[in-house]
Amino acid sequence: MCRIFAGQAPDTYESQTRSVRVGGHTTSIRLEAAFWNVLEELAAHQGMSLGKFVSHLHDEVLQLHGEVRNFASLLRCCCLIYRGDIPGAAVGPVAPGRLAQAGAQPSLAAAE
């Protein structure tokens, strides 16, 4: 079993820092390469650039909860939900518009 996890290519878990515009400000977010890959796929599936997706997601969380705590962790959990790896969450990959059905209001797809 350990070879499944330990045998992965080191570049998949290497940290990458990317600059994105969130709330009108440029900020840096550090995630593992594998998470950036999933986020790029998720954004493309929603018909958005990665930057636009991250910005819309941040705005939606702010609207729903009044604040955004630990945004990097939120992004990682979004990847797990998208992949269907969190029991009880949306089944992934999530179809465009399906995020709204999973409880995200307004939907990222509608934000286009």
Q: Is residue 57 part of a domain?
A: yes
Q: Are 92 and 83 in contact (CB under 8 A)?
A: yes
Q: Is residue 51 part of a domain?
A: yes
- Contacts (Cβ under 8 Å, ≥6 apart) of 48: 56, 108, 112
Domain that holds residue 40: 10-111
Q: Is residue 5 part of a domain?
A: no
Q: How many domains does the chain have?
A: 1
Q: Is residue 80 part of a domain?
A: yes
pLDDT per residue as tens digits for the range 1-58: 688 889 999 999 999 999 999 988 999 999 999 999 999 999 999 999 999 999 999 9
Q: Is residue 2 part of a domain?
A: no
Note the pTM of the prediction, 2 decimals: 0.76
Cα–Cα dist 68/62, whole Å: 6
pLDDT per residue as tens digits for the range 69-84: 999 999 999 999 999 8
CATH of the domain at 81: 1.10.3990.20
Q: Share the mean pLDDT of the chain.
A: 83
Q: Is residue 23 part of a domain?
A: yes
